[in-house]
Amino acid sequence: MDSIVSVMKKVAEKEAQKIYTTELGIVTSVFPHTAENDKDNYQCSVQLKNKKQPDGSDFELRKVPLLTQHLGLVNIPKVGDLVLVTFVGGNLNAPIIIGRLYNDEDRPPINQEQEFLLQHNLEEGGSLKIDAEGVITLTSKNEENVITVKDEEITAAREKASVTVKDEEIVTATDKASITVKGGDVTLKNEQCQVVLSGSNITIDNGSCKITIAGGGITLDAGSSNVTVKSTGGSIKIGDATTASVDIGGIALANAVADNDDIILSMHTHVGNLGVPCPIMVPTEKINSTQAKLRNTKVG
């Protein structure tokens, strides 16, 4: 009868002669290169799914190197990931992790054909997506911040605010207001009002009243609303000596009086108590407007 030592030697010899190709494994621990002075070199310990020790215990490979697609790119698996292990030369002592696999428990994120998706992990957001049309979408972890890059525009958005950049156009908007810059024009809007700057023109509009400042002048359109001009302790002036005319209700007022214009002073005088009707005398006097000012006479 063979001794126990002899049996173990035979088992070891058979294992040594066996050629290993690939095995499935579960990551049990990870060793990323986290500091300049550590000895770790982008490795994982892996428990093989379909292989046991001679005594029936789990078979674990310690610090297995991990394949990378590019030197400078790192994305180490997390504990519990299902990985595929290959063996250099079929040698059990020369394993390399060559990839990770989705499974019944760890299913992939929702994705479409011809779509590239890089997501931070399966449980939550933080993703970069390029769809079949080449549109790039960058999403934050909480999925509340989204940047979208298209050929014709770039948009950065939150739930209630966004900024969109197009060719010669920028739109900044919330759910209640917006600012649009297009070429040399600027438009400000909220739920009721709008201000437009276009060339040398300015328009202020609240839906019922409008003020327009243009090369031809200033237009105040109050519709059916009242217009109130108020001054407390000051004065209100409309026009000056060079003003051609002032129309109120379609009626042209007289021209303003300039210096050195001739004016006619009119007055009425009550003479005694002669009963009713009282006779009125209306003398007139022609003076220069400058003379009128010296007399403290209101002119214009």
Secondary structure (DSSP) of 28-79: EEEE---STT----SEEEEEEEEEE-TTS-EEEEEEEEB--SSTT------T
- Whole-number Å distance between alpha carbons of 42 and 148: 33
75: in domain: yes
264: in domain: yes
Q: What is the pLDDT of residue 254?
A: 59
296: in domain: yes
Q: What is the pLDDT of residue 206?
A: 94
Total domains in the chain come to 2
Q: What are the beta bridge partners of residue 186?
A: 181, 197
Q: Looking at the whole model, is its pTM more than 0.75?
A: no
243: in domain: no
Domain boundary pick from 39, 71, 101: 101
Q: Sign of torsion, CA 80 81 82 87?
A: negative
218: in domain: no
Q: What is the pLDDT of residue 59?
A: 95
Q: Which two tokens stand for residue 240?
A: 């000056």
Give the pairing type, strands 217-221 and 247-248: unpaired
Cβ neighbours for 266, distance < 8 A, ≥ 6 positions apart: 282, 284
43: in domain: yes
Q: By residue range, what is the domain housing residue 286?
A: 252-300
Q: What is the pLDDT of residue 299?
A: 47
83: in domain: yes
- Token pair 């990378």 is at which residue? 68
151: in domain: no
pLDDT in tens, the chain (300 residues): 567 777 667 666 666 667 889 999 999 999 999 999 999 999 999 999 999 998 899 999 999 999 999 999 999 999 999 999 999 999 999 999 999 999 999 999 989 999 999 998 887 779 999 999 999 999 999 989 999 999 999 999 999 999 999 999 999 999 999 999 999 999 999 999 999 999 999 999 998 999 999 988 999 999 888 888 888 888 888 777 677 777 776 666 655 555 666 655 555 555 555 555 555 555 566 655 566 556 555 544
Are the CB atoms for 46 and 85 separated by under 8 Å? yes
Domain boundary pick from 74, 101, 128: 101
Domain boundary pick from 60, 85, 101: 101
